[in-house]
Structure 1
């Protein structure tokens, strides 16, 4: 395949081999023929065997701050699970809202999104929340097959991805984008600026739409005769971890003041959790519970982004993209719709974790075509990868559906209307917010 691509598309051999490898890698990630981390290893191996790029390009992902942010998030996630602090927070808050169906669904969505401030790992949040949500469903009478049970699972699944799209270190696509633009353009995204731009519409309003659709599409009525909540006091480990998380969150939200990258803040939190004196994540627990497959996967995505730029493939793709989508300096509304629509369409093919790796290296040419600042063009991706038509586009959604025993057909009843509302209503509102805040000059 790597040898045929140059002849088929008239590319120079180095660029053609890179294109073939990118098509193969994205295709494997999109179809899920093999696990994502295995695909990343295929990418590393073929890239080195075919001498497509130097090792510092292929393995650039391991040097990225995004990779270290994922690492820190995974370690903190293990601590949150092991101490029981995450379960305590989620159970307490959701139980308090279980007196009515809309409040129950809104509570699950709020916890699923809000816990992203404490646990920057989508897969970790899914694994943590789904057992709690299912237990709560049983306690309010939502047995298997009830619409309310399906709605609660979908609220947790979609809430833990959709709302955290507005929180920089909380989703893989966010971090892949941050790492890619830092690798390619030397641009470092700040936690506070990212949150201010995306949370009002992509986060909060998207959450409101999600709750409204769930209550409309899956109506039900809970039985308030739930069991009493556990009232055990905070353990010493929970208190220590809570203090670490408060300090970490404080540094994350004020990075525009002190200039320390969110990655190094997260790595510091992880190191404190791993120190024997903390008693939070022993060495054996680290080896057993940290998802190293996710780390290899993220490194593969970031390495592919570096390869796209190094090989010249980014210039070829940008020329093709510019020829297809309408972009024009001064036509701000059209430009915004074109960029977000292109990102949403590419996400169907590449899946959301791979989308920033493909689109981010093109930001320079796209900025020139629109007349916008580079960082504004980069940020339009977030609106695009918050549009999810099919669950396979976001691997943690697939895991959540499996854990919750919810059929894909039921998930599609929510995902497709939610995607359409996002494009038709929330995207124009995003444009107005960006214009109001000066991101679109």
Structure 2
């Protein structure tokens, strides 16, 4: 273990102990104070990455189980929860339907990887757009959008795009440090972040927020509703991204010789296999059922996804065996995801989130502000704290329960409270500024194709305009469609 990681781990435990030993405020239940101590412990581990995310998840669950177990209940301080109930609360997130949705979507991503269909889709689109720099930028954005429909992991989408883009750059006889390489790589990671917001199933952090909202408000946002709310914003941001990138980085030559490299890579894949064809049908039907959820049929997104997984695992008509799947699915991601939901749920149940909200945002007078100004303040805070988080899932676990508590303290309101929470979730996916702002940024940055300065130059206008669009949509479009 590196020295800095050991120091960060010791710091996390020191902060945990200090918060537990602090005098208990009258307005905060003892169990709520201990939940906040675990939150502080988790945030330090997540920000410093002193241990891997799955390891931090196991530590968080253990601490929650013990600290809740020895605490008096919120309802009757004379009764202690007991570790059995404490553990039950600590793993409550594992029973969330959102975890099943993410798990099913990860299996779909695995199917794409095993069959190579995601690569075929990406190469096919790139082969059609042309080989001028502007066309390649447009093709990269389109590929990001299409893959976001079917691959629920930003890192997995980057893992698909990065090798293809490196292949294109090499085939043109250009170095990894060339302007074209920087242009396409930065376009790829920025468009991935944009469509994390535009599509409900594109990112795990979206499911974290929806899990909290389902618990707190008893509502679910369908795939189609999310798309109605967020896709127009993502489309405008994609257009902005195109113009930012073609003007920010200009390759030395105006046009490249030919698109032979892309077509050659596509030809090397051969004809579409039976498995790929079946996966196209399954994925197409899945997208159709997702987008018509709550209108043409009564099935929710999670049930639809699990049915799709069952079909993919069925012999003869399926895509793969369980043995093939279990080796590929990142189970650690699911554990982290479920633990994040558990932590947020505990913060809400123990009134820790409510106390933190009342002593931060409420104390600053946020609740008395006009709606758009309130969103402006919360979104700006959201963007700033994201600079310290490499995982949007972790940020959602820490921040969304506080926003939910803030909305709860304002009832009744003249606007739709859950809509405000959802908008803050959109902002959580702002990963435009630094390599450490998102896993896909780190993956691409590791190729050495672009510098931090180049990413920042593209990220600043995207962040500023994205922020202003959030405010504009809050004042207009999101009110018109009933989100606010």
TM-score scaled to structure 2, two decimals? Answer: 0.84
Counterpart among 431, 442, 456 of residue 398 in structure 1: 442
Whole-angstrom CA distance in 2 between matches of 1:215 and 1:338: 32
Moved more, 180-189 or 219-228: 219-228
Matched, 1:152 2:184: yes
Instruction: Name 1:215's counterpart in structure 2.
Output: 246
Instruction: Name 1:29's counterpart in structure 2.
Output: 46
Offset at residue 21 of structure 1 (A): 0.8
Going from structure 1 to structure 2, the CA distance change for 1:279 and 1:339 (only over 3 Å counts) comes to same
Whole-angstrom CA distance in 2 between matches of 1:210 and 1:188: 31
Indicate if the aligned counterparts of 1:383 and 1:427 stay in contact, CA closer than 8 A: no
Going from structure 1 to structure 2, the CA distance change for 1:171 and 1:268 (only over 3 Å counts) comes to same
| Aligned residue runs from structure 1 range 100-249, under 5 A | 100-201=132-233, 203-220=234-251, 221=253, 222-227=255-260, 228-229=263-264, 230-231=266-267, 232-249=270-287
Instruction: Name 1:384's counterpart in structure 2.
Output: 427
Whole-angstrom CA distance in 1 between matches of 2:199 and 2:153: 11
Whole-angstrom CA distance in 2 between matches of 1:83 and 1:273: 12
Instruction: Name 2:17's counterpart in structure 1.
Output: 3
Whole-angstrom CA distance in 2 between matches of 1:22 and 1:438: 33
Instruction: Name 2:63's counterpart in structure 1.
Output: 46
Going from structure 1 to structure 2, the CA distance change for 1:60 and 1:8 (only over 3 Å counts) comes to same
| Partner secondary structure for residue 33 of structure 1 | coil
Whole-angstrom CA distance in 2 between matches of 1:325 and 1:281: 55
| 1:384-440 C-alpha deviation (Å, 9 max, x unpaired) | 224333332322321232246544343223223321222235532453221332333
Matched, 1:281 2:344: no
Counterpart among 281, 301, 307 of residue 346 in structure 2: 307
| Partner secondary structure for residue 290 of structure 1 | coil
Counterpart among 300, 304, 322 of residue 265 in structure 1: 304
Whole-angstrom CA distance in 2 between matches of 1:333 and 1:318: 19
Offset at residue 9 of structure 1 (A): 6.3
| 1:92-129 C-alpha deviation (Å, 9 max, x unpaired) | 10122233211211110121122111222222212122
Going from structure 1 to structure 2, the CA distance change for 1:166 and 1:383 (only over 3 Å counts) comes to same
Indicate if the aligned counterparts of 2:66 and 2:87 stay in contact, CA closer than 8 A: no
Structure 2: tracts of 5 or more residues without a match? 1-13, 70-84
Going from structure 1 to structure 2, the CA distance change for 1:49 and 1:405 (only over 3 Å counts) comes to farther
Going from structure 1 to structure 2, the CA distance change for 1:180 and 1:208 (only over 3 Å counts) comes to same
Moved more, 412-421 or 67-76: 412-421
Counterpart among 390, 393, 404 of residue 353 in structure 1: 393
| Partner secondary structure for residue 289 of structure 1 | coil
Offset at residue 264 of structure 1 (A): 1.6
Going from structure 1 to structure 2, the CA distance change for 1:426 and 1:381 (only over 3 Å counts) comes to closer
Moved more, 68-77 or 347-356: 347-356
| Partner secondary structure for residue 162 of structure 1 | helix
| 1:51-105 C-alpha deviation (Å, 9 max, x unpaired) | 4562222112211121111111111111111112111110010122233211211
Going from structure 1 to structure 2, the CA distance change for 1:122 and 1:394 (only over 3 Å counts) comes to same
CA RMSD, 1 decimal: 2.2
Going from structure 1 to structure 2, the CA distance change for 1:335 and 1:171 (only over 3 Å counts) comes to same
Going from structure 1 to structure 2, the CA distance change for 1:33 and 1:416 (only over 3 Å counts) comes to farther
Instruction: Name 1:17's counterpart in structure 2.
Output: 34
Structure 1: tracts of 5 or more residues without a match? none
Offset at residue 188 of structure 1 (A): 1.2
Whole-angstrom CA distance in 1 between matches of 2:130 and 2:365: 47
Indicate if the aligned counterparts of 1:367 and 1:373 stay in contact, CA closer than 8 A: no
Offset at residue 325 of structure 1 (A): 5.5
Indicate if the aligned counterparts of 2:140 and 2:188 stay in contact, CA closer than 8 A: yes
Offset at residue 287 of structure 1 (A): 2.3
Whole-angstrom CA distance in 1 between matches of 2:36 and 2:473: 36
Going from structure 1 to structure 2, the CA distance change for 1:382 and 1:141 (only over 3 Å counts) comes to farther
Moved more, 338-347 or 150-159: 338-347
| Partner secondary structure for residue 234 of structure 1 | coil
Bigger radius of gyration: 2
| 1:122-162 C-alpha deviation (Å, 9 max, x unpaired) | 22212122111211222344421111101211122221221
Offset at residue 279 of structure 1 (A): 4.9
The alignment of Structure 1 onto Structure 2 pairs a total of residues equal to 438
| 1:213-271 C-alpha deviation (Å, 9 max, x unpaired) | 22122111451323234343321111100000011011100112223221121122122
Whole-angstrom CA distance in 2 between matches of 1:313 and 1:93: 49
